[in-house]
Structure 1
Amino acid sequence: MIDLRLLRDEPDLIRASQRARGESESVVDDLLAADERRRLAVQAFETLRAEQKQLGKLMPKAVGDEKAALLARTRDLAAGVKVAEAAVHDADQALRAAHLAVPNVVAPGVPAGGEDDYVVLREVGDKPDLDGPRDHLELGELLGAIDMERGAKVSGSRFPFMTGVGALLQLGLFQLAMQEAVAHGLIPVIPPVLVKPEAMEGTGFLGAHASEVYRLEADDLYLVGTSEVPLAAYHSGEIIPLDEPLRYAGWSTCFRREAGSYGKDTRGIIRVHQFDKVEMFSFCRPEDAAAEHQRLLAIEEGMLAKVELPYRVIDTAAGDLGSSAARKYDCEAWVPTQGRYRELTSTSNCTTFQARRLNVRYRDGDGRTRTAATLNGTLATPRWLVAILENHQQPDGSVRVPKALQPFVGRDVLEPLR
């Protein structure tokens, strides 16, 4: 959630952020009103409590009519305090609801607009010159690497089996990603993939993204769509040391309902319901967040270079940011059969938005507690295999294995089964 002090001091900044996102400014006014009602409710409660305490001090000395009057006033105050306390509780609930409805403040310099209003920061690598390229699914079937038909038989649409060299290629990609993360000082983590509601809410995935989330109603637990969720909640309610950023790399299975994506990317493994993912996650001081964001982006670009993919980096427009993100960079790889770049990774600076919800703090140089900043960045998903297969294919249907992946896959070329 956003800082209420910033809201009170600079409400027009929050309104401008909403306009940049293409979202309603009314949530800002709603939050301002809820904040004011809560402060008035607390003030009324504290006034009555102060009078109640004062009467308690006078009571032992009172006699006769004075004591009777004090007793009567004490009874009235007790009832009033009870009502005022209930009003504070209701105001707290209303404030939290209004607070959760306001997304993070967009960082200065982020392009305004929607999904198509991104800014291309750079293009890296040469696109392959392919004559009549096969798409990743055709290649995957030739190689015995992807089986969508049996996945649909067993689990339904968008649940692939990765088989043979497909399984080896995916495992190799993820092991390479974890090696890269560790080489850059990240702590490897295999987190739980079932989390409590407060973890999912704390990371901002129960707002606009709620329809994407699988929920186990009998247990009141959620299946994560990214290990960002358990990693963000890992230090919830803690005061952590942040002389240097705390950096983690989580490898987890992820689940997404892909609600609202009917008809989009239905072929192959671009958009599936279950997939593994390596996700980087950092906790740092707010003043270090912009530099940390660039660090995560550099690790992602290094990984793309390792698997020899042509790609571009875009500065995502405000209207295409998630509710938690103040800024997001996407790395998009070239997909030959589509003749366009497709997102493989993203890295987001969530500033103090998530940590404020999850109560993750640190001590500054004066010993005062401050809210930490959080950042995340993807380092590998099965979608990378789409670009790897298509960019490294050869005319006979074989696929050259990038040099960095060859030790994991055990060969330098994947040959068709038939």
Structure 2
Amino acid sequence: MIDLRLLREDPDRVRASQRARGEDVALVDALLSADERRRSSGVRFDELRSEQKALGKLIPKATGDEKAELLGKASRLAADVKAADAEQNEAEEETKRLLLQLGNLVHPDVPVGGEEDFVVLETHGTIRDFGAEGFEPKDHLELGEALGAIDVERGAKVSGSRFYYLTGIGALLELALVNAAMARAAEAGFTPMLTPALVRPRAMEGTGFLGQAAENVYHLEKDDFYLVGTSEVPLAAYHMDEIIDADRLPLRYAGFSPCFRREAGTYGKDTRGIFRVHQFDKVEMFSYVDPEDAENEHKRLLEWEKDWLNALELPFQVIDVATGDLGASASRKYDCEAWIPTQGKYRELTSTSNCDGFQARRLSIRMRDGKKVQPLATLNGTLCAVPRTIVAILENHQLADGSVRVPEILRPYLGGRELLEPVAK
């Protein structure tokens, strides 16, 4: 959540941020009104409680009619205190409810617009000319089935559409990707983590996934647990309700977890293969830093992602995501999009977001620098979303005979194998 003091001091900035996101600007005025009512009702309650305490000291000393009058006044005052307390609590809850609906303030340099209004910052690698090589590229599903690596038919039979099996070399390729990604993260100073896939409501709400993203979250109503769509959620909540000494920062974690997404609103989109699925595994980077270092940390996370994709020998571009396509918690987000030959376009493979103090305030995570205690900043960055990475590897490194060249970084994790070869049926 944003700082209420900032809202009071510069509401126009918050309105501009809401407008840029394509969100309801009227929410800002409703929140200002609720906050004013919260503060005034708090003052009213304190005044009545003070009067009640003072009256309580007079009653034992009074006698006769004076005491009867004071007792009557005390009774009326008690009712007023109770009403003021109820009003204060109601205003507090209303302020909190509205505050949780408000997205993070967007960074002033973020391009304004919707999903297609991103800005390309840089490109890496060379897009292959398959025509010059004398063959038409196959898509990842055709390749994966020939390699004995992907089985979507049985995935659909067992679990429904957008589920799949990784089999044989497909399963080994996932393990190679995860181990290589974790090794690189550890080398960069991240603490490897295996995180819970089920979290309580506060963890999900605290990271900002129960607002605009709620439709894509799986909820187990009987137990009131949520299935995470990314290990960002348990990694962000790891230090919930804690105060961290500034000299311990930055804290960096690399979480591996299964991820679950309903993919609501995407029916008919990316239905072939394993590009957009309901369950997948992912390695996620997460940083807790001093707010003053947040922008630099964001650049570091992006560099680690770029290094990883270059090591996989994939052509990709880096984009500055537009305001209307930011998640609620992000002030700025960079995506790395890999070239997918059979689609003839770049598709998102990794992303990294700077959330500033937005998640930290919601989760009550603070830093102590001397006597000063304040919210710290949190950032996240995908290192390896496994299915999409497999899609990019199979399509970009395929050969004319249907085999797939293994990037050098993965060979030690695949027993030195240099090629993935079709299997006899």
**Alignment map for 1:126-137 (pairs within 5 Å):** 126-131=126-131, 132-137=136-141
- Alpha-carbon deviations, 1:161-206, whole Å to 9, x = none? 0011111111101111101110111111101110001111111111
The AA in structure 2 aligned to 1:416 is P
Please give the alpha-carbon distance, in whole angstroms, between the structure 1 residues aligned to 2:55 and 2:391.
Answer: 75
Post-superposition shift, 1:157? 0.8
Equivalent position of 1:320 in the other structure: 325
Percent identity among equivalent residues? 64
| Counterpart pick for 2:167 among 163, 185, 190 | 163
The AA in structure 1 aligned to 2:113 is G
| Counterpart pick for 1:223 among 210, 224, 227 | 227
Equivalent position of 1:24 in the other structure: 24
Equivalent position of 1:283 in the other structure: 288
**Alignment map for 1:121-270 (pairs within 5 Å):** 121-131=121-131, 132-243=136-247, 244-270=249-275
- 1:347 is paired with a residue whose SS is strand
- Alpha-carbon deviations, 1:294-353, whole Å to 9, x = none? 111111111101111111100000000000000000000011111110000000001111
Please say if 1:112 is aligned against 2:116.
Answer: no
Please give the alpha-carbon distance, in whole angstroms, between the structure 2 residues aligned to 1:7 and 1:371.
Answer: 16
- Alpha-carbon deviations, 1:364-385, whole Å to 9, x = none? 23x1210111100001112111
Please say if 1:47 is aligned against 2:47.
Answer: yes
Equivalent position of 2:61 in the other structure: 61
Please give the alpha-carbon distance, in whole angstroms, between the structure 1 residues aligned to 2:82 and 2:20.
Answer: 44
| Counterpart pick for 2:377 among 342, 360, 373 | 373
Please give the alpha-carbon distance, in whole angstroms, between the structure 2 residues aligned to 1:7 and 1:46.
Answer: 24
Post-superposition shift, 1:281? 0.7
Post-superposition shift, 1:407? 1.1
Equivalent position of 1:80 in the other structure: 80
Equivalent position of 2:418 in the other structure: 412
The AA in structure 1 aligned to 2:217 is V
- 2:128 is paired with a residue whose SS is coil
Please give the alpha-carbon distance, in whole angstroms, between the structure 2 residues aligned to 1:306 and 1:179.
Answer: 13
- 1:58 is paired with a residue whose SS is helix
- Alpha-carbon deviations, 1:103-151, whole Å to 9, x = none? 0000120000000111110001111121311011110011000000011
- Listed as ranges, the gaps of 5+ residues in structure 2 are none
Please give the alpha-carbon distance, in whole angstroms, between the structure 2 residues aligned to 1:53 and 1:103.
Answer: 42
Post-superposition shift, 1:59? 2.4
The AA in structure 2 aligned to 1:81 is V
- Normalised TM-score (structure 1): 0.98
Post-superposition shift, 1:280? 0.7
Post-superposition shift, 1:23? 1.8
- The number of residue pairs the alignment matches comes to 417
- 1:158 is paired with a residue whose SS is coil
Post-superposition shift, 1:63? 2.5
Please give the alpha-carbon distance, in whole angstroms, between the structure 2 residues aligned to 1:25 and 1:391.
Answer: 44
Equivalent position of 1:401 in the other structure: 406
The AA in structure 2 aligned to 1:66 is E
Equivalent position of 1:94 in the other structure: 94
Please give the alpha-carbon distance, in whole angstroms, between the structure 2 residues aligned to 1:222 and 1:101.
Answer: 19
The AA in structure 2 aligned to 1:370 is Q
Please give the alpha-carbon distance, in whole angstroms, between the structure 2 residues aligned to 1:226 and 1:23.
Answer: 24
- Cα RMSD (Å): 0.9
- Alpha-carbon deviations, 1:243-273, whole Å to 9, x = none? 2211101000010111110000000110000
Please give the alpha-carbon distance, in whole angstroms, between the structure 2 residues aligned to 1:60 and 1:205.
Answer: 55
Please give the alpha-carbon distance, in whole angstroms, between the structure 2 residues aligned to 1:241 and 1:180.
Answer: 27
Q: Is the 8 A contact 2:191 2:252 kept in 1?
A: yes
Q: Is the 8 A contact 2:245 2:369 kept in 1?
A: no
Please give the alpha-carbon distance, in whole angstroms, between the structure 1 residues aligned to 2:254 and 2:69.
Answer: 67
Equivalent position of 1:294 in the other structure: 299
Post-superposition shift, 1:58? 2.1
- Normalised TM-score (structure 2): 0.97
Q: Is the 8 A contact 2:294 2:379 kept in 1?
A: yes
Post-superposition shift, 1:241? 2.3
Post-superposition shift, 1:242? 3.0
- 2:157 is paired with a residue whose SS is helix
- 1:219 is paired with a residue whose SS is coil
Please give the alpha-carbon distance, in whole angstroms, between the structure 1 residues aligned to 2:411 and 2:241.
Answer: 43
Please give the alpha-carbon distance, in whole angstroms, between the structure 1 residues aligned to 2:86 and 2:405.
Answer: 68
Q: Is the 8 A contact 2:330 2:353 kept in 1?
A: yes
Post-superposition shift, 1:46? 0.8
- 2:263 is paired with a residue whose SS is coil
Please give the alpha-carbon distance, in whole angstroms, between the structure 2 residues aligned to 1:66 and 1:303.
Answer: 82
- 1:240 is paired with a residue whose SS is strand
Please give the alpha-carbon distance, in whole angstroms, between the structure 1 residues aligned to 2:58 and 2:300.
Answer: 64
**Alignment map for 1:349-364 (pairs within 5 Å):** 349-364=354-369
Please give the alpha-carbon distance, in whole angstroms, between the structure 1 residues aligned to 2:18 and 2:116.
Answer: 18
Q: Is the 8 A contact 2:326 2:332 kept in 1?
A: yes
Q: Is the 8 A contact 2:318 2:336 kept in 1?
A: yes
Please give the alpha-carbon distance, in whole angstroms, between the structure 2 residues aligned to 1:409 and 1:263.
Answer: 35
Post-superposition shift, 1:68? 1.9
The AA in structure 2 aligned to 1:108 is P
